[in-house]
């Protein structure tokens, strides 16, 4: 039995708490939302973000970061990427040096272009960054909580720490693999959200399977170019954290990022779409971060450029598709 703190009680943070509770661990879920905390503690469900699934075992929620982190051996960061730096600064004095930090967040910081591991190093220092594990892969929260078979990756420069997270969180339907490619695992999980917005746009326009297949394939090429420019390994991007997560998010009906793109393709305004959603669609902000990072690294990412133009430059979805199809012909 391990003591686990989960910082962020949205759908994915709660689903990880559900799995860890079933596995017999002591879990403390932190949320800034008092209604979420009360629902978990009193009704044993997260009525806002994961209402259909009962929370079992020694899982308790709190709005107090100190209470959540007390004696925690593993701390899972499950807040949106744009809130992670502030969260780390808030908990810096309460996180012990021997703690394993696990990121369950899929995004890139816009202001700096940093991955979550780099934000951890920036805020907490190299000692904590050395114990950083990225947990990523094709994993809708609702399906994990519903005991549907799911496989993800725990990536850490220290193989033994990745194996610790693997052993602690693998239970029943959740199977965790390990690798040591943190950059590839983080970037696969972040950039696929941008491509998923594009996939949703295709769906919203009524385009068919040909279009989605081409988009996923060329989107993977963009992910590979950006990630390998930052030292990632190709085999990581062909695995669960790359291709696996990309296929799920581009085709799955539970994908928030695909939903945003789909609604844009149907003619709705971005502000209206986001206002109707309970949880964050990471791809909206991540598009800005990825575009800036790609420009800095001189990496060509035409799909990302068109998603950015739709989200932030008032380009129509149909015009974005036309721009992609009109690009100069070239070898694959």
pTM, entire model? 0.95
Residue 66 lies inside a defined structural domain of this protein:
yes
If we measure between CA atoms, which residue out of 113, 94, 121, 92 comes closest to residue 28?
94
Residue 166 lies inside a defined structural domain of this protein:
yes
In this prediction, residue 278 has a pLDDT band, given cuts at 50, 70 and 90, of confident
Q: Is the Cβ–Cβ distance between 317 and 197 less than 8 Å?
A: no
The reply to whether 256 and 210 lie within a common domain is yes
The reply to whether 195 and 143 lie within a common domain is no
CATH number for the domain harbouring residue 200:
1.10.1040.10
The reply to whether 160 and 204 lie within a common domain is no
The reply to whether 157 and 193 lie within a common domain is no
The reply to whether 253 and 118 lie within a common domain is no
pLDDT of residue 112: 92
pLDDT digits (tens, 9 = 90+) for 14-70: 999 999 999 999 999 999 999 999 999 999 999 999 999 999 999 999 999 999 999
Q: Is the Cβ–Cβ distance between 211 and 250 less than 8 Å?
A: no
The reply to whether 167 and 268 lie within a common domain is no
Q: Is the Cβ–Cβ distance between 277 and 286 less than 8 Å?
A: no
If we measure between CA atoms, which residue out of 19, 43, 46 comes closest to residue 30?
46
The reply to whether 25 and 149 lie within a common domain is yes
Mean of the per-residue pLDDT values for the chain? 96
CB atoms within 10 A of CB 313: 10
Residue 160 lies inside a defined structural domain of this protein:
yes
DSSP string, 64-131: -HHHHHTT-SEEEE-S-HHHHHHHHHHHTTTS-TTPEEEE----B-TTT--BHHHHHHHHH-HHHHTT
Of 131, 153, 180, the last residue of a domain is 180
The reply to whether 206 and 113 lie within a common domain is no
Out of 192, 269, 291, 330, the active site residue is 192
122: left (phi over 0), alpha (psi -120 to 50) or beta: alpha
Please enumerate in sequence order all residues whose Cβ is within 8 A of that of 195, keeping only pairs 6 or more positions apart, or say none.
Answer: 215, 216, 219, 220, 222, 223, 246, 249, 250, 303, 304
Q: Distance between CA 258 and CA 194 in Å, rounded? A: 9
* Four-CA torsion 23, 18, 9, 264, nearest 10 degrees: 130
Q: Distance between CA 161 and CA 31 in Å, rounded? A: 26
Share of residues in the chain with pLDDT > 70 (%): 100
Of 163, 180, 197, the last residue of a domain is 180
Of 180, 204, 234, the last residue of a domain is 180
CB atoms within 10 A of CB 273: 18
Catalytic annotation on 192? yes
Q: Give the domain extent around 20.
A: 3-180
pLDDT of residue 259: 97
pLDDT of residue 234: 97
pLDDT of residue 166: 98
Q: Is the Cβ–Cβ distance between 45 and 61 less than 8 Å?
A: no
The reply to whether 62 and 148 lie within a common domain is yes
3-state secondary structure of 327: coil
CATH number for the domain harbouring residue 168:
3.40.50.720
Q: Look at the chain and report how many structural domains it folds into.
A: 2
pLDDT of residue 1: 87
The reply to whether 160 and 133 lie within a common domain is yes
Q: Distance between CA 258 and CA 281 in Å, rounded? A: 9
Residue 330 lies inside a defined structural domain of this protein:
no
Residue 331 lies inside a defined structural domain of this protein:
no
Residue 250 lies inside a defined structural domain of this protein:
yes
pLDDT digits (tens, 9 = 90+) for 109-161: 998 999 999 999 999 999 999 999 999 999 999 999 999 999 999 999 999 99
User: How does strand 59-62 pair with strand 26-30?
Assistant: parallel
Residue 332 lies inside a defined structural domain of this protein:
no
The reply to whether 96 and 75 lie within a common domain is yes
The reply to whether 204 and 125 lie within a common domain is no
Give the distance, in angstroms, between the CA of residue 243 and the centroid of all CA atoms in the same chain. Answer: 14
Residue 76 lies inside a defined structural domain of this protein:
yes
């Amino acid at each position: 039995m391990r003591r686990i703190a989960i910082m962020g009680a949205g759908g994915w943070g709660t689903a990880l708490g559900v799995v860890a509770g079933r596995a017999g661990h002591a879990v403390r879920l932190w949320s800034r939302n008092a209604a979420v905390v009360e629902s978990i503690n009193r009704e044993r469900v997260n009525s806002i973000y994961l209402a259909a699934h009962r929370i079992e075992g020694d899982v308790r929620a709190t709005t107090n970061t100190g209470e959540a982190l007390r004696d925690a051996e593993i701390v899972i960061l499950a807040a949106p990427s744009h809130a992670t730096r502030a969260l780390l600064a808030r908990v810096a004095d309460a996180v012990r040096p021997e703690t394993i930090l696990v990121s369950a967040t899929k995004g890139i910081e816009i202001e700096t272009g940093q991955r979550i591991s780099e934000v951890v190093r920036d805020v907490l220092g190299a000692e904590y960054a050395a114990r950083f594990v990225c947990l990523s892969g094709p994993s809708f929260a609702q399906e994990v909580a519903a005991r549907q078979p799911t496989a993800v990756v725990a990536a850490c420069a220290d193989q033994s720490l990745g194996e610790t997270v693997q052993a602690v969180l693998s239970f029943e339907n959740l199977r965790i693999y390990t690798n040591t490619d943190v950059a590839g695992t983080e970037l696969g999980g972040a950039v696929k959200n941008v491509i998923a917005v594009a996939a949703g746009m295709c769906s919203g326009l009524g385009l068919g399977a040909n279009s989605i297949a081409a988009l996923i394939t060329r989107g993977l090429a963009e992910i590979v170019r950006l990630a390998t420019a930052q030292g990632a390994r190709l085999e990581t991007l062909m695995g669960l954290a790359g291709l696996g997560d990309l296929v799920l998010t581009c085709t799955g009906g539970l994908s928030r990022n695909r939903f945003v793109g789909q609604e844009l393709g149907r003619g709705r305004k971005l502000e209206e779409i986001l206002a109707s959603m309970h949880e964050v669609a990471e791809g909206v902000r991540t598009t800005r971060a990825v575009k800036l990072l790609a420009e800095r690294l001189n990496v060509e990412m035409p799909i990302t450029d068109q998603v950015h133009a739709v989200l932030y430059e008032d380009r129509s979805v149909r015009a974005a598709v036309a721009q992609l199809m009109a690009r100069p012909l070239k070898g694959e």
